[in-house]
Amino acid sequence: MSEKPAGWYYVGDGKLRYRDDYGWTEFYMDTTDPRAQSWPPPTPRTMLQQVRDDEEARSKQATSRRGIFGSRRQRRP
Percent of the chain with pLDDT over 90: 65
| pLDDT tens-digit series, residues 21-51 | 999 999 999 999 998 988 889 999 999 999 9
Helix/strand/coil (H/E/C) assignment for every residue in 21-35: CCEEEEEEEECCCHH
Task: Report pTM.
Answer: 0.66
The rounded mean pLDDT for the chain is 87
Residue 75, classed as helix, strand or coil, is: coil
Higher pLDDT, 67 or 44: 44
